[in-house]
Amino acid sequence: MCSDMSDTVEILDTTLRDGAQGKGIAFSVQDKLAVVRALDELGVAWIEAGNPGSNPKDMEFFRLASSLSLETAKLCAFGSTRKKGVKAPEDPQIQSLLEAETEAVVIFGKSWDLHVTEVLRVTREENIAMIAETVGFLRDQGKRVLYDAEHFFDGWQANPEYALSTLKAALEAGAERIVLCDTNGGAFPDTVAAAVQSVIEKLGLPKPACDDRISVAKGASAGIHAHNDAAFASANTVMAVKAGCRHVQGTLVGFGERCGNTPLAAVIPSIELKLGLPCLPPGRLRRISKITWQVAEIANVAVPDSMPYVGANAFAHKAGMHTDGILKVRESFEHIDPIAVGNDRHFLMSEVGGRSAIAERAKKIEPSITRDHPVTLALADKLKTLEAEGWQFEGADASFEIMVRRELGRYRPLFKIEAYRVVSEHPTSAVLACSHAWVKVLVDGQEEIAAAEGDGPVNALDGALRRALKHFYPELEKVRLADYKVRVIDGNAATAAKVRVLIESTDGQGNWSTVGVSEDIIDASRSALVDSIEYKLIRDIERRFKAYL
């Protein structure tokens, strides 16, 4: 790779189109508007926002989106080439693209002759005409056209001459981007690199070089759209960029059809930080972790903990040797500084983590803590004892922080549960099963009693506890459980076994995790819930105090 490749890479996010085709993904119109605002804040160049010809909701979205004041992103409507036997101006689907009133449209067409003859059931010549006439008509209507060559890599391997002829038809008709799509997601990186190089050479597209600064805003350029069915979407995208593509498509979190699309949150940092090619406006890369979590929240999915760069485990260190190395020389166990992508370093608390990790975490509360501080030694002993009893803190940072505060003598309970009761009812005939919880809490000498109904005992207990506390702490209205996990610690004890409950909570601004252990699953859940609520309240109090100072 050149040491000074100073051109740029243009990003198109298709979360609202290809991403919406993922299993379990459904966006309301308001959801889509929220995603657009988030992606614009990140600084992507294009947002492929939906197919207006496929459903009324997308057309309603485009109507409302026209009033958005976007800073960096431009919206694209998505559709196919004209139908066979129909002129482009008379195709209702093409007309819907015009009615969306976006500056640009993304048109996909067939480049694999198998799809031409066996799926579309048209001649190869007719397919070429469908591509050229559609692109040409939209250009005549004043639209910028990005052309997606569907199944390109399969087509290139099967019949390279024909696959290239479909690209040439789109290019000559006025397409600004020629996007090579690995629609089946089965191509290997070496195939992608060779195909991109061939396309750039044979179509005469700009080829980046050390002494040739190009911009995708000038003339046509090559792009890549990859799927992850063979686990190569990220690798294929990076190889395509290295081979000369300067337009990259994907979905921010990576969800999409089947196994998903290129996860932009994992690829943009590699392109910017490793290849030295800017993808976002200056300074925006530091927002990518926050915005990835924000888009995932809107989509009601979790960002995978192991997702590179932005996942919770991307900079999480557990082994004592790793922790010690990081504290001495960051590069020893981190390939980039987590600050560059707006993420945080995490030292996972466990019996194998070592005192260095404990001290580093404790410093967030008391900066004077050292590896040999009495509090560090006490916490190390406590961790070993608790882990032997089944507790686990590596996935429960908030519970560990509360334990640190207790050891430092800086913990004051903000409430006390004086009594609680949980009752589950089971269905008889048409009556649905449900659970009821009753809680009595004490806050600064004042008692409050509340009850709630839930889909299960933990849901009911959570509802009753927050209902009892919201009189004192109204900010708890924003808190909800994001995840709930139960692990049986010793299966040999059968139904008398201890269980470990891990709860992930969110207030819409951040996530935190807590843990509880007991032979009683409800009591373990109660312990984790109490830690979750206290952590939220302590954090809010400290934020207000800092703001006051």
Last residue of a domain, one of 388, 407, 436: 388
Cβ atoms within 10 Å, residue 495? 6
pLDDT at 352: 56
Residues 6+ apart with CB under 8 A from 448: 440, 441, 468, 469, 471, 472
pLDDT at 425: 75
| Residue 517 β-bridge partners | 500
Mean pLDDT confidence for 231-237: 98
Which structure tokens are listed for 352? 């194998």
pLDDT at 549 over 60: no
Least confident of 48-62, 188-202, 242-256, 496-510: 496-510
Last residue of a domain, one of 269, 299, 329: 299
pLDDT at 431: 53
CA dihedral 222, 224, 225, 231 (to 10 degrees): 170
Q: Are residues 356 and 485 in the same domain?
A: no
Q: Would you say residue 127 lies in a domain?
A: yes
How far is the C-alpha of 111 from the C-alpha of 128, rounded, in Å?
9
pLDDT at 246: 96
pLDDT at 305: 87
pLDDT at 537: 94
Q: Are residues 156 and 14 in the same domain?
A: yes
Q: Are residues 278 and 334 in the same domain?
A: no
Q: Would you say residue 469 lies in a domain?
A: yes
Q: Kindly report, residue by residue over 152-182, the tens digit of the pLDDT.
A: 999 999 999 999 999 999 999 999 999 999 9
pLDDT at 495 over 70: no
How far is the C-alpha of 488 from the C-alpha of 330, rounded, in Å?
37
Mean pLDDT confidence for 508-528: 90
Q: Are 432 and 451 in contact (CB under 8 A)?
A: no
Using pLDDT thresholds of 50, 70 and 90, give the confidence band for residue 7.
confident
How far is the C-alpha of 148 from the C-alpha of 225, rounded, in Å?
8
Q: Are 192 and 223 in contact (CB under 8 A)?
A: no
Q: Kindly report, residue by residue over 374-414, the tens digit of the pLDDT.
A: 999 999 888 888 888 888 887 788 999 999 999 999 888 99
Query: For a pLDDT cut of 70, what percent of the chain falls above it?
Result: 91
pLDDT at 426 over 80: no
pLDDT at 325 over 80: no
Q: Are 111 and 149 in contact (CB under 8 A)?
A: yes
pLDDT at 204 over 70: yes
Q: Are residues 367 and 336 in the same domain?
A: yes
Q: Would you say residue 406 lies in a domain?
A: no
Using pLDDT thresholds of 50, 70 and 90, give the confidence band for residue 444.
very high
Mean pLDDT confidence for 66-83: 96
Q: Kindly report, residue by residue over 105-154, the tens digit of the pLDDT.
A: 999 999 999 999 999 999 999 999 999 999 999 999 999 999 999 999 99
pLDDT at 496 over 90: no
pLDDT at 302: 85
pLDDT at 213: 39
Using pLDDT thresholds of 50, 70 and 90, give the confidence band for residue 418.
very high
Average pLDDT, rounded, for the chain? 89
pLDDT at 320 over 90: no
Q: Would you say residue 88 lies in a domain?
A: yes
204: left (phi over 0), alpha (psi -120 to 50) or beta: left
pLDDT at 6 over 60: no
How far is the C-alpha of 129 from the C-alpha of 2, rounded, in Å?
40
Q: Would you say residue 532 lies in a domain?
A: yes
Phi, psi angle pair for 241, to nearest 5°: -65, -45
Phi, psi angle pair for 376, to nearest 5°: -60, -45
Handedness of CA 266, 271, 274, 276 (dihedral sign): negative
Q: Are 193 and 242 in contact (CB under 8 A)?
A: yes
Using pLDDT thresholds of 50, 70 and 90, give the confidence band for residue 222.
very high
- Based on the structure, what is the number of domains in the chain? 3
How far is the C-alpha of 478 from the C-alpha of 466, rounded, in Å?
10
Which whole-number Å values give the CA distances from 147 to 15, 38, 186, 221, in the listed order?
Answer: 18, 25, 21, 11
pLDDT top residue among 328 and 59: 59
pLDDT at 120: 94
Q: Are residues 208 and 89 in the same domain?
A: yes
Kindly give the pairing relationship between strand 499-506 and strand 480-488. antiparallel
Q: Which of 516, 521, 517 is nearest to 505 (CA)?
A: 516
| Residue 499 β-bridge partners | 488, 518
Q: Are residues 232 and 122 in the same domain?
A: yes
Q: Would you say residue 4 lies in a domain?
A: no
Q: Are residues 380 and 245 in the same domain?
A: no
Residues 6+ apart with CB under 8 A from 31: 298, 299
| CATH at 462 | 3.30.160.270
pLDDT at 252: 98
pLDDT at 509 over 80: no
Q: Are residues 129 and 36 in the same domain?
A: yes
Q: Would you say residue 400 lies in a domain?
A: no
Nearest-5° Cα angle at 289, 288 to 295: 85
Q: Would you say residue 405 lies in a domain?
A: no
pLDDT at 430: 52
pLDDT at 216: 44
Could you tell me the residue range of the domain that residue 351 belongs to?
A: 316-388
Q: Are residues 286 and 204 in the same domain?
A: yes
Using pLDDT thresholds of 50, 70 and 90, give the confidence band for residue 57.
confident
pLDDT top residue among 151 and 457: 151
Which structure tokens are listed for 262? 């290129």
Q: At what angle do helices 29-42 and 56-65 cross, to 10 degrees?
A: 50
Residue 240 parent element (H or E): helix 233-243
Which structure tokens are listed for 60? 């309603």
Last residue of a domain, one of 248, 270, 299: 299
How far is the C-alpha of 28 from the C-alpha of 390, rounded, in Å?
42
pLDDT at 450 over 90: yes
pLDDT at 480: 87
Q: Are residues 62 and 29 in the same domain?
A: yes
| CATH at 80 | 3.20.20.70
How far is the C-alpha of 515 from the C-alpha of 531, rounded, in Å?
8
pLDDT at 339: 95
Query: Is residue 353 classed as helix, strand or coil in its secondary structure?
Result: coil
Which structure tokens are listed for 131? 């591509």
Which whole-number Å values give the CA distances from 232 to 12, 261, 262, in the listed order?
Answer: 19, 10, 9
pLDDT top residue among 494 and 59: 59
Residues 6+ apart with CB under 8 A from 55: none
pLDDT top residue among 425 and 105: 105
Q: Which of 3, 60, 9 is nearest to 264 (CA)?
A: 9
Q: Are residues 384 and 441 in the same domain?
A: no
pLDDT at 255 over 90: yes
Q: Are residues 263 and 351 in the same domain?
A: no
